[in-house]
Structure 1
């Protein structure tokens, strides 16, 4: 069994790791995240820091892309998947 915790920002991610989470999931600060609220989710710089922290502590990071892609702005969803994949 794994403990998987949500993290809406970098301090929450660090707290989840510190408290023993095996994995943390995050979302991007854009239309690809269903919980797209002010002060939550990761921009590119925060995502880079989250990846570094997760790797340093040998945990797993999941990215939630949990909205339906809109045909007129499909590139936003492509970019979100590419950003996650680029960090491996």
Structure 2
């Protein structure tokens, strides 16, 4: 069984890892349906993966696209 936690910002990532999450899911600044979450810049994504792996956790990066005008 895997404990998967959302990480909408770097602070949420640290909290999830500190709480013992086995994996986190997060999105970048672009292509994320959670527009109002803090999300991660490209540099923050790199650091998030490094930090999660140091804790033995997996990272799932979510991508969302919309077809058509919004």
Is the TM value for this pair above 0.5? Answer: yes
Q: Structure 1: any 5+ residue segments left out of the alignment?
A: 71-88
Q: Whose helix proportion is higher, 1 or 2?
A: 1
How many residues are matched?
Answer: 68
Residue 5 (structure 1) aligns with: 5
Residue 19 (structure 1) aligns with: 19
Structure 2 length normalisation: TM-score?
Answer: 0.86
SS of aligned partner of 2:48: helix
CA distance in 2 between partners of 1:2 and 1:35 (Å): 23
Deviation >4 Å, runs of 4+: none
Structure 1 length normalisation: TM-score?
Answer: 0.70
Which of these residues, 50, 53, 56, is aligned with residue 54 of structure 2? 56
SS of aligned partner of 1:53: helix
- Two-structure CA RMSD over aligned residues (Å): 1.5
Relative contact order (alpha carbons < 8 A, sep ≥ 6): 1 or 2 greater? 2
